[in-house]
A and B are shown apart, each in its own frame.
Chain A
Amino acid sequence: MDKTPVIAALEGGVLTLLLNRPQRLNAMSPALIEAMNHELARARDDSDIRAVLLTGIGRGFCAGADLAGTGPGDPDADGQPDLGAAMDRLFNPMIRAMRALPKPIVAAVNGVAAGGGANLALACDIVLAARSARFDQAFVRISLMPDLGGTWFLPHTVGDARARALAMLGDSVPAEEAVRMGMAWQVLDDSALMEEAKKLAHRLAAGPTLSYAAIKQAINAAATNTLDQQLDLERDSQRALGRSADFKEGVAAFLAKRPAHFTGR
């Protein structure tokens, strides 16, 4: 039984979420997802939180859904597992909350990110990976398909050809290869990962929060918008940002050639 499947700590505007089932390589139990959803709701509602950092305790980042114990599938009326029900109740709300969160999410992938764990990373805005980390779309090995948005993230992140191969072959992608493909932003030495990830998250937490929220929302919408629709969206968002205190400060700082002091307003 896990008492605290996710350890949350708020410091300097950064909400750090530590996946805490190290004995299971942080495989996602129902309790872990429930805790994630709780923390994501808090991150949304608490204006003191301006960036989120997600990482795993121990050797792994997240080994996907926990297949042991009762497993993620609720049995349906025939006693057959219903994986869709767990998606609906737990996993998909988490991914939706991450994408909708109007604050940047940094993933520090400290070890293996397999199955749903790989796609949990891809749902973050900026992925930093330890050199020893790897990304596995392991689903096909147990006759499933990528979920937690994987069939959407993959083609939108690495292109169609690579997406199909990764999903169908389920091969393990080492961190450096993931960066070359664009699945991760940067690879770091294992010993440097957490320090760099914290630095980045704190930089974002001290940045123009409204701008980040608008960027996130715009890039979310870009996937299905036409260019025409997107230009209108940019117009409306830029209009709102142009009235923010951070924009005024940003321009003043630029013209005075000094660093800007953003407040997130």
Chain B
Amino acid sequence: MPYERILLAKKDGLATLTFNAPDRLNAVSRKMIAEIKLCWEDLAADSAVRAVLLTGSGRGFCAGADLADPDREASATADSGAALEKYFNPVIRLMRALPKPIVSAVNGVAAGVGMSFVLASDIAIAAKSASFLQAFARIGLLPDGGSTWFLPRRVGEQRARALAMLAPQITAQQAKEWGLIWDVVEDGELMKTATELARRLAEGPSMSLACIKEAMNRASGNDLGQQLDVERDFQRALGRSEDFKEGVAAFLGKRQPIFRGK
């Protein structure tokens, strides 16, 4: 499948998806989001892919929806909900449901729905010079791409409301301190660090990682009693996996495990 606005590379179980409209700081046009959606569908269906690395080419990670996109219907009766329903929401749902870890390497500004993509990934690492911005209120919208759900869960009610209403641009370091992202590294180290992490996950116990992701997805709606039952059921399944057997043997033999994702 040839893509024009994104790049997709697959190597040894690791897929790298790169937003590729660097002249627009990777702002998402209708064409780009259609490709992104197709790409996540491909990554979900490809059993050889065991982890995904998400990044942007050029100076930005993703500047959000492209307001200057010629394909964008700009009339007063245009339906902002339709683009969410058709493209953006399916992408966020695909990312969360994907039974494989997603690592974001945030190489520059992540604004609007670009920030939502970061929040929807499992582990986000940002370059020191990267920044984050819930830009929506600046143009009379509300955060989308799941950000009204991710924000209060990451940073609590107070900060979520302030970030959404005041739309301040925050640094990578601030984002880390607030728990919006996992880590910050020097700009020159970003791709090496993120790729190593993603590769480690691609070589990890894939079933365990898939269960962790699904359990965390469910935790936000479960009470503790329900979650204990989820853990029981998932752990039962994992306890019957080959990777569990290998993990225990390697631990007892004081050697490195070799996981196959089975």
Contacts of B143 in A (CB 8 A): 215, 218, 234
B239 on the A face (CB < 8 A): no
Contacts of B149 in A (CB 8 A): 222, 225, 227, 230-231
B148 touches A235 (CB 8 A): no
B162 touches A185 (CB 8 A): yes
Contacts of B220 in A (CB 8 A): 226-227
Contacts of B141 in A (CB 8 A): 211, 238, 241-242, 247, 250
A254 touches B138 (CB 8 A): yes
Contacts of A183 in B (CB 8 A): 156, 158
Contacts of A122 in B (CB 8 A): 157-158
B13 vs chain A, min Cβ distance (A): 27
A81 to B178, CA, bound (A): 43
A235 touches B81 (CB 8 A): yes
A187 vs chain B, min Cβ distance (A): 12
> Which of B68, B74, B156, B165 is the one whose CB lies under 8 Å from A159?
B156
Q: Interface on chain A toward B: helix, strand, loop, or mixed SS?
A: helix
Q: Nearest B residue to A218 by beta-carbon distance? A: B148
A215 touches B68 (CB 8 A): no
A208 on the B face (CB < 8 A): yes
A246 on the B face (CB < 8 A): yes
Contact A212/B165 with A156-B156, A182-B155, A230-B149 known, Cβ cut-off 8 Å: yes
Q: Nearest A residue to B78 by beta-carbon distance? A: A242
A148 to B93, CA, bound (A): 35
Q: Nearest A residue to B155 by beta-carbon distance? A: A182
Contacts of B170 in A (CB 8 A): none
A128 vs chain B, min Cβ distance (A): 10
Contacts of B237 in A (CB 8 A): none
Per-position contact with B for A136-156: 1 when CB-CB < 8 Å, else 0?
A: 000000000000000001001
A54 vs chain B, min Cβ distance (A): 14
B152 touches A223 (CB 8 A): yes
A233 to B93, CA, bound (A): 14
Those of B60-101 within 8 Å (CB) of chain A: 67-68, 74, 76-82, 84-85, 89, 92-93, 96
Contacts of A208 in B (CB 8 A): 137, 139-140
Q: Nearest B residue to A208 by beta-carbon distance? A: B140
A230 to B92, CA, bound (A): 11
A248 to B75, CA, bound (A): 9
A238 to B92, CA, bound (A): 16
Per-position contact with A for B122-158: 1 when CB-CB < 8 Å, else 0?
A: 0000000000000011111111111011011101111
> Which of B82, B96, B155 is the one whose CB lies under 8 Å from A239?
B82
A85 to B137, CA, bound (A): 40
Contacts of A66 in B (CB 8 A): none
Per-position contact with B for A248-260: 1 when CB-CB < 8 Å, else 0?
A: 1111011100001
Contact A230/B148 with A208-B137, A241-B142, A250-B138 known, Cβ cut-off 8 Å: yes
B228 vs chain A, min Cβ distance (A): 16
B120 vs chain A, min Cβ distance (A): 9
A184 on the B face (CB < 8 A): yes
A87 on the B face (CB < 8 A): no
> Which of B79, B156, B217 is the one whose CB lies under 8 Å from A157?
B156
A182 touches B79 (CB 8 A): no
A250 to B221, CA, bound (A): 35
B158 touches A219 (CB 8 A): no
A242 to B156, CA, bound (A): 27
Contacts of B79 in A (CB 8 A): 239, 242
B93 touches A153 (CB 8 A): no
Contacts of B146 in A (CB 8 A): 227, 230-231, 234
A111 to B137, CA, bound (A): 31
A244 touches B144 (CB 8 A): no
Contacts of B96 in A (CB 8 A): 227
Contacts of B85 in A (CB 8 A): 235
- Enumerate the 3 nearest inter-chain pairs by beta-carbon distance, A residue then B residue, closest first: A242-B80, A239-B81, A250-B139
Given contacts A126-B165, A215-B142, 19 further A-B contacts (CB under 8 A): A122-B158, A126-B166, A157-B157, A158-B156, A182-B159, A215-B148, A218-B143, A222-B149, A227-B92, A227-B217, A230-B146, A238-B81, A239-B79, A239-B80, A239-B81, A248-B76, A249-B140, A250-B141, A255-B68
A-B contact pairs, 20 of them (CB 8 A): A125-B165, A157-B156, A158-B156, A211-B136, A215-B142, A215-B165, A222-B149, A223-B152, A227-B217, A230-B148, A232-B89, A234-B145, A239-B84, A241-B142, A242-B80, A243-B77, A246-B140, A247-B80, A247-B140, A254-B67
Residues on B close to A: CB < 8 A? 67-68, 74, 76-82, 84-85, 89, 92-93, 96, 136-146, 148-149, 151-153, 155-162, 164-166, 178, 217, 220-221
